[in-house]
C-alpha cells in the first residue's frame, strides 16, 4: 500500500492540491496544445520545427492566464524528431514560467525498468521533459504503473490514467468484464491510490472522454469516490458541451477538467482570438 502523503519529500504541495487550487482560481479548463499539420497550415505556418514552436508558444501565451492546465500532445512533437522534442521542452519550460500547470499527453505504459525510465523522463526533478503530470496507459496492468505513481507522489507531480475513452475501439477492452469491467477496476485502483492524499484532491487522475454518454452509468463507475481529477477530452469540436459534462459526470463534475483543443486553436493565429475562444469555453464550464 502507498504511504500517506500531502506533499513530497521536499515539502512541495501535491499536484492534486495545486490543480484543485488552479481550477478554483481560474476555472476547470484544460487547453490541448495539438499542433496538427492542418492547424499549422490554417495559421499560415509551415509544418516544420519553426512552425511547431511558433504555434505552441502562441497558443500558450494566449491561454496561460485562463486555463488551469495545458496539455501538449506529445506525439505531434515526436513526429518532428529530436528537434520537435526540444520544442516540447521549451513549451514545458515556458508554461512553468507562466505558472500554468502542464499535462504531458504521452500515454506511456510499460513494465519494470522500462516504466521506471518513462517515469524518470516525465516526472523526475531535473528532467528536461518533466511536466506537472503525464497521461498513462494501464493496459499492462494498473500495478505496472507503480514506478510512475510513486515518483509522482515523491516529486509533487501527478498522473492521469486512461479509464474510459470515447474512441469506439476502447469499449472492446474497457467494457470487458460486465459488473467488474476493466474500466471499473481502473477506477477502483485510482481511488485506492488517492487514499494517500489526506484531505486534498488526489494526484492520481483519470482520463474519461467527454462523449462517453451513458457508459459511466452502464458500467456503474463511481468517479466521485476516486477523489482525484477527471481529465475529460472531447469538449467542443468532438461534440461535447459543458452541459453534457455536467449531465455525464453528475456528482463528480467538480473534479472534472474539461478539455478543449480544436475549438480554441481554430480561432488562431491572433492571440486575442485564441484568448476570446478560451474565455467563452471557460464561461460555459463555469455556468453549466
Q: List active site positions.
A: 107
Q: Which three cell numbers stand for residue 262?
A: 480544436
> From its phi and psi, is residue 27 left (phi > 0), alpha (psi between -120 and 50) or beta?
left
For residues 39 and 267, give the distance between their C-alpha atoms in angstroms, rounded to a whole number.
10
Q: Closest Cα to residue 33, out of 207, 233, 273?
A: 233
For residues 268 and 16, give the distance between their C-alpha atoms in angstroms, rounded to a whole number.
31
Give yes or no for a contact between 48 and 79, defined as CB atoms under 8 angstroms apart: no
Pairing of strands 101-108, 158-164: unpaired
17-52 in b/e form (b: 16+ CB < 10 A) is bbbbebbeebbbbbbbbbbeeebbeebebebebebb
Radius of gyration for the chain, computed over Cα atoms and rounded to the nearest angstrom: 18
For residues 244 and 59, give the distance between their C-alpha atoms in angstroms, rounded to a whole number.
26
Question: Residue 220 to residues 185, 198, 232: CA-CA distances in angstroms?
Answer: 11, 25, 18
Q: What is the largest CA-CA distance in the chain?
A: 52
Amino acid at each position: 500500500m502507498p504511504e500517506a502523503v500531502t506533499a513530497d519529500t521536499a515539502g512541495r504541495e501535491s499536484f492534486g492540491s495545486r490543480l484543485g487550487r488552479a481550477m478554483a482560481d481560474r476555472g476547470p479548463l484544460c487547453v490541448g496544445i495539438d499542433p496538427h499539420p492542418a492547424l499549422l497550415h490554417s495559421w499560415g505556418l509551415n509544418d516544420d520545427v519553426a512552425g511547431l514552436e511558433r504555434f505552441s508558444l502562441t497558443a500558450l501565451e494566449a491561454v496561460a492566464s485562463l486555463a488551469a492546465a495545458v496539455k501538449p500532445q506529445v506525439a505531434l512533437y515526436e513526429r518532428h524528431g529530436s528537434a520537435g522534442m526540444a520544442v516540447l521542452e521549451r513549451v514545458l519550460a515556458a508554461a512553468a514560467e507562466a505558472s500554468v500547470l502542464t499535462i504531458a499527453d504521452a500515454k506511456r505504459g510499460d513494465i519494470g525498468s522500462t516504466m521506471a525510465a518513462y517515469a524518470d523522463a516525465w516526472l523526475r526533478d531535473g528532467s528536461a521533459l518533466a511536466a506537472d503530470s503525464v497521461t498513462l496507459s494501464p493496459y499492462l496492468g494498473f500495478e505496472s504503473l507503480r514506478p510512475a505513481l510513486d515518483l509522482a507522489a515523491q516529486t509533487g507531480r501527478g498522473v492521469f490514467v486512461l479509464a474510459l475513452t470515447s474512441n469506439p475501439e476502447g469499449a472492446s477492452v474497457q467494457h470487458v468484464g460486465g459488473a467488474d469491467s476493466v474500466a471499473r477496476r481502473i477506477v477502483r485502483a485510482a481511488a485506492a491510490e488517492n487514499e494517500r492524499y489526506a484531505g486534498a484532491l488526489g494526484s492520481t487522475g483519470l482520463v474519461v472522454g467527454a462523449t462517453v454518454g451513458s457508459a459511466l452509468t452502464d458500467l456503474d463507475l463511481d468517479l466521485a469516490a476516486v477523489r482525484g481529477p477527471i481529465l475529460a477530452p472531447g469538449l467542443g469540436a468532438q461534440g461535447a458541451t459543458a452541459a453534457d459534462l455536467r449531465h455525464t459526470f453528475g456528482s463528480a463534475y467538480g473534479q472534472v477538467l474539461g478539455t478543449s483543443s480544436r475549438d480554441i486553436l481554430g480561432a488562431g493565429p491572433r492571440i486575442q482570438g485564441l484568448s476570446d475562444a478560451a474565455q467563452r469555453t471557460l464561461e460555459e464550464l463555469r455556468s453549466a
